[in-house]
Amino acid sequence: MKRMSIEQLLGINKFAVDDDEAHIILKKDICAACMDKPCTFACPAGLYTEKDGEISFDYAGCLECGTCRTVCPKEGAISWQYPRGGFGINFRYG
């Protein structure tokens, strides 16, 4: 059986995106003062990016692993909760 790459495995997951209620919300003013921005390299889905010192984030595609909440050094920067019922990731293991 051929081994699949991480990108291929992530690609077969299904997401029900809740357009009305984000399950992760950032306080960008707090993020602006965060020097290392560990979320940009710790999120396994690569949902945090930095451009010109400003953080950009999209909750669609979130694996609900909680890593960003764990590595974030700034209290109050991330408001994190699981998606509402019926929304979020549906893992499909290939």
Taking the least distance from each CB to ligand SF4, the nearer of 2 and 49 is 49
Residues between 56 and 85 with contacts to ligand SF4, criterion CB under 6 A: 62-68, 72, 74, 77-78
Residue of the chain from 44, 53, 82, 84 that contacts ligand SF4 (CB under 6 A): 44
Closest to 80 in 3D by CA, of 27, 40, 17, 19: 27
Taking the least distance from each CB to ligand SF4, the nearer of 1 and 7 is 7
- The Cα 87–Cα 21 span in angstroms is 10
- Asked if 89 interacts with ligand SF4 (CB under 6 A), we say no
List all residues 6 or more positions away from 34 whose beta carbon is below 8 Å from its beta carbon: 55, 72, 73, 74, 77
- The Cα 78–Cα 69 span in angstroms is 7
Interface residues with ligand SF4 (CB under 6 A) are: 24, 26, 30-31, 34, 37-39, 43-45, 47, 55, 62-68, 72, 74, 77-78
